[in-house]
Amino acid sequence: NAGVTQTPKFQVLKTGQSMTLQCAQDMNHNSMYWYRQDPGMGLRLIYYSASEGTTDKGEVPNGYNVSRLNKREFSLRLESAAPSQTSVYFCASSEAGAEQFFGPGTRLTVL
């Protein structure tokens, strides 16, 4: 089992460009999450999906959109990237009431 996979691993964008970060899990989990990690701030929840067909805002949703494509896949879209979105992005999945499993992360730089 691969667990949680994320693509791409690295990405450089120019201000105003758009991109989609992909996440997939093979553990049959119902819940999936997107976090961003910035130095000195820990991980902050951007969006989450408690189950297939539902999505909700987290702590820092502005500038992002998400799609829960099916039970396995949860994508994060930046419509018009800004330098403030330079960060490391992590996807995670879990069953309700259980441990969250994290992917390896995507390092995004916005110039």
* Residue numbers at the binding site for other proteins (CB under 8 A): 4, 31, 33, 40-45, 48, 50, 58-59, 90, 92, 94, 96-105
To 5 degrees, how large is the angle CA 3–CA 8–CA 10?
120
Minimum CB distance to other proteins, residue 76 (Å): 15
Closer residue to other proteins (CB): 14 or 40 = 40
C-alpha distance across the termini of the chain, in Å? 36
Minimum CB distance to other proteins, residue 79 (Å): 24
Full DSSP string of 8-22: -SEEEE-TT--EEEE
Closer residue to other proteins (CB): 16 or 104 = 104
Give the Cα separation of 110 and 92 in Å (integer): 23
Closer residue to other proteins (CB): 19 or 88 = 88
Question: Smallest Cα–Cα separation from 46: which of 69, 26, 28, 23?
Answer: 23
Minimum CB distance to other proteins, residue 24 (Å): 14
Closer residue to other proteins (CB): 26 or 79 = 26
Minimum CB distance to other proteins, residue 52 (Å): 16
Q: Let me know if 14 is exposed, middle or buried by CB neighbors in 10 A (0-12, 13-18, 19+).
A: exposed
